[in-house]
Amino acid sequence: MKVHLHRVPFFLEPDYNSRPPDFTETHDTRMIRKFGSKETFLRVRKSHGLIPRGEAVGLNADNGWTQENLTRRIQSSTLNAHRLLLFVAQEYGSVASEKLYAELNKHHFTEAGVLNDRTLLRAATVEVLGDGAEAHACESLLDSERGKKEVLAVVDAVSAAGVNSIPTLVIDGQHVISPTAGTEEVLGGLRRAVQGGVQGHRALAVPVF
């Protein structure tokens, strides 16, 4: 069975795009604002269990997956990161875009990297594509408006489809797996999709930033 994973853009904070390009805030500041108090935020964080869920799939302190690093995260607009990922997928293929996606996640979740920072975006691109013509093409993209309309159109379509949290997994446009699902739930959803006769063996996932 062939499975194609297709990631689509999603904005955790759409209002960031109306802020100055260099706007950032700490993760805790964002979450306390979202939930109304630090106490409520801490209760939600505990219920989400990101640390144990990460450990279940091989993330741990050895690769930077710690509560301390998650707390150090700096939030910003992710529009440019999504434009870059879209460009790399279109020009260099899904394997390259997946590697870039993983590199950006590493910087953001374990190194407090700002996803709207041009230096970070370039460094991640060079890490994946090398410091040659491909990286220079990506830099030229970021100097332009290319991909902005496409990213915003997909974000609107995802919102219109009722997706309001991430990572949401949609299989063949009909089997939806919740962002809170654990490993066994995801496997169960995949099995049900296969048993129900997946048409074309397609999977779509919404990114985690």
Say which residue the tokens 């169960």 belong to: 188
Residue 63 lies in a domain: yes
Predicted local confidence at residue 208, as pLDDT: 53
Residue 155 lies in a domain: no
Confidence tier at 164 by pLDDT (50, 70, 90): confident
pTM recorded for the entire structure: 0.88
Residue 56 lies in a domain: yes
Residue 85 lies in a domain: no
Residue 183 lies in a domain: no
Predicted local confidence at residue 171, as pLDDT: 81
Residue 61 lies in a domain: yes
Confidence tier at 199 by pLDDT (50, 70, 90): low
Length of the chain, please?
A: 209
Which residues have a Cβ under 8 Å from the Cβ of 3 and sit 6 or more positions away? 201, 202, 203
Instruction: Please give the Cα distance from 15 to 18 (Å, whole number).
Output: 6
Q: Is 124 exposed, middle or buried (CB count within 10 Å of its CB: 0-12, 13-18, 19+)?
A: buried
Predicted local confidence at residue 203, as pLDDT: 52
Residue 170: CB atoms within 10 Å: 19
Q: Please give the structure tokens belonging to residue 51.
A: 């640390």
| Nearest-10 Cα torsion for 162, 166, 167, 168 | -10
Predicted local confidence at residue 80, as pLDDT: 97
Which residues have a Cβ under 8 Å from the Cβ of 92 and sit 6 or more positions away? 129, 134
Residue pLDDT, tens place only, 67-110: 999 999 999 999 999 999 999 999 999 999 999 999 999 999 99
Say which residue the tokens 């220079």 belong to: 136
Confidence tier at 202 by pLDDT (50, 70, 90): low
Predicted local confidence at residue 28, as pLDDT: 97
Residue 202 sits at the vertex; the CA angle it makes with 197 and 204, to the nearest 5 degrees, is 125
Least confident among 54-58, 68-72, 149-153: 54-58
* Helices 38-48 and 27-35, axial angle in degrees (round to 10): 100
Residue 9 lies in a domain: no
Residue 50 lies in a domain: yes
Predicted local confidence at residue 4, as pLDDT: 78
| Domain that residue 48 falls in | 25-75
Domain total for the chain? 1
